[in-house]
A and B are shown apart, each in its own frame.
Chain A
Amino acid sequence: MDILQNLINGISLGSVYAIIALGYTMVYGIAKMLNFAHGDVIMVGAYICFYAVSKYQLPPLVGILLAMAVCTVLGVVIERLAYKPLRQSASLAVLITAIGVSYFLQNAALLLWQSDPKNFPTFLNGIFGDKGITFLGRSITGTTVVTVLACVIIMVALTAFTGMTKMGKAMRACSEDKAAAQLMGIDVNRTISMTFAIGSALAAIAGVLLCSAYPQLTPTTGSLPGIKAFTAAVFGGIGSIPGALLGGLLLGVIEIFAMTFSTELSNAVVFAVLIIVLLVKPTGLLGKQIREKV
């Protein structure tokens, strides 16, 4: 077993999880709901990019931007139509609705794009030539480099955004107390829409990165990575941006190492991590505790 190679692969996969986990963690932090359909938005983003690049021969960057645009709109529309009417409802109802949305996206994709796997274009690998770059004797693909870089840039940008901009502060205010934020003149609906927009745009990026590394694209491509990324978000502490990064990276590394022992059971290992984290430290590594008011 090549530990370093596995570590590199793990960090690459973990970076994708981290980007997806951001979508979960931001939405959970602000709307207090598990957006089950987030993984399927990833899949939609990947399909858009696939068609733009492979079928319509658009430049990859245009394809990515197009995917981001479509996913942003999709995320906002989903929130408006399906989640907003249930904002006061029990979490059971919201979660079932989110599962419905997830199912809807998968089956709509199945009708639109059929079930046969599409070969996602590997344009990211070509960035550093055919061989990629060499690091400590291991060759690293362009996809890996771009993925890790994208993850770092997104984390820094998002931390700056929530910390410094007006909208970012509004988001933090909403995640603390929506009613109080509203009284302070913050448009809660707009803030939640914005959260979904950002999360979905990131999902599009994650979709492209995920399919560049694992180029088999089907309508269910997003669902399992989606659930794993949620695991990563919980692992790191839901609601926390650095937590998403930490959880994503750890989970990616754990999964790759588990795979070297048993391919069939690697998913079971990832889910076992989720279970153990929730039982031992339900607030995650970097999360904070909330007390129920009586």
Chain B
Amino acid sequence: MPERQKTKLVPVPSPNLIPERDVDKSPILEAQHLGIDFGGLTAVNEFNMAIGRTEIAGLIGPNGAGKTTVFNLLTKVYQPTRGTVLLDGKDTHNMNTVQVNKAGIARTFQNIRLFDKLSVEDNVKIGLHNQMKYGTFSGLFRLPAYWRGEKAAHERAMELLSIFDMQDLAGVKAGALPYGAQRRLEIVRALGTNPSLLLLDEPAAGMNPSETAELMDNIVKIRDTFQIAILLIEHDMSLVMGICEGICVLNFGEIIAKGTPEEIQNNPEVIRAYLGSGKEA
């Protein structure tokens, strides 16, 4: 008789990451039993999470816990081995990275990925790509649709850049920007795709405390103006505890805790796994 497969029954977690103002709506993102194996190694397992439509959620955990892998699974850079991702109730099972973005998920990268040789404005316009309507033919022959489309894109790009006060840098090559500005530009580019969920991978990395504080204000501002959900990976606890409404803690590829910042800060398992010695963050 074949050996019975080992199953671990995990209760589907309560949607405790959906803020009160969103409870009557369905979550924008639901990850259910999400997991991926690399070769024989399980990188992420049983990842369950629901994010509200206008929530700022945090994904934290020690280095190598699988946080970026979760982003790669949500955006289909990696195809999940198990589980489903529902975006606005729609299964993203058969989608690729491009389709997931068109469906509403935009992201930034831990190791910045800008179009270095192109200008700041062009980077944002590339984010606006699917919002622009004129075709290649109009572009090749400079038809009126081209001029209209380019003018609208220019105005929209400037508007988006103004979130971070970056209009003056529009003509600068993206690769020549200082580090912090590159991180901000990535956010602007992602916003250009008109997402309903924005994934930020360590947005405050390499920033000083005053820059981080400004970034926190801006993240909240982005949520409020665009009325979108934001999920962020961050090591800076002042940022995570300061603006996230729900937090999910990952260790060795599995969720070990979920809750509000207060709950997470007082969770003994989180303190043991994440903070090590039990020091307050």
CB distance from B59 to the nearest CB of A (A): 16
Q: Does B38 make an interface contact (CB < 8 A)?
A: yes
Band of interface residues on B: under 10
Annotate B94-124 by CB proximity to A: 1 below 8 A, 0 otherwise: 0000000000000001000000000000000
Q: Does A291 make an interface contact (CB < 8 A)?
A: yes
Annotate B44-79 by CB proximity to A: 1 below 8 A, 0 otherwise: 000000000000000000000000100010000100
Contact B77 A291, beta carbon cutoff 8 Å = no
The number of A-B residue pairs with CB atoms under 8 Å apart is 5
Q: Does A279 make an interface contact (CB < 8 A)?
A: no
Interface of A, secondary structure class, is loop
Residues of chain B lying within 8 A (CB to CB) of residue A291: 38
Within residues 190 to 217 of chain A, which ones have a CB less than 8 A from any CB in chain B?
none
Within residues 217 to 272 of chain B, which ones have a CB less than 8 A from any CB in chain A?
none
- How distant is the Cα of A294 from the Cα of B38 in the complex, in angstroms? 14
What number of A residues sit within 8 Å (CB to CB) of B? Answer: 2
CB distance from B211 to the nearest CB of A (A): 25
Annotate A281-294 by CB proximity to B: 1 below 8 A, 0 otherwise: 00000000001001
- How distant is the Cα of A8 from the Cα of B77 in the complex, in angstroms? 48
Residues of chain A lying within 8 A (CB to CB) of residue B109: 294
- How distant is the Cα of A294 from the Cα of B72 in the complex, in angstroms? 8
CB distance from A292 to the nearest CB of B (A): 9
Residue of A nearest to B77 (CB): A294
- How distant is the Cα of A291 from the Cα of B38 in the complex, in angstroms? 9
Annotate B31-42 by CB proximity to A: 1 below 8 A, 0 otherwise: 000000010000
Residues of chain A lying within 8 A (CB to CB) of residue B72: 294
CB distance from A45 to the nearest CB of B (A): 41
CB distance from A159 to the nearest CB of B (A): 25
Within residues 245 to 294 of chain A, which ones have a CB less than 8 A from any CB in chain B?
291, 294
Q: List 5 A-B contacts (CB under 8 A).
A: A291-B38, A294-B68, A294-B72, A294-B77, A294-B109
B residues neighboring A (CB under 8 Å): 38, 68, 72, 77, 109
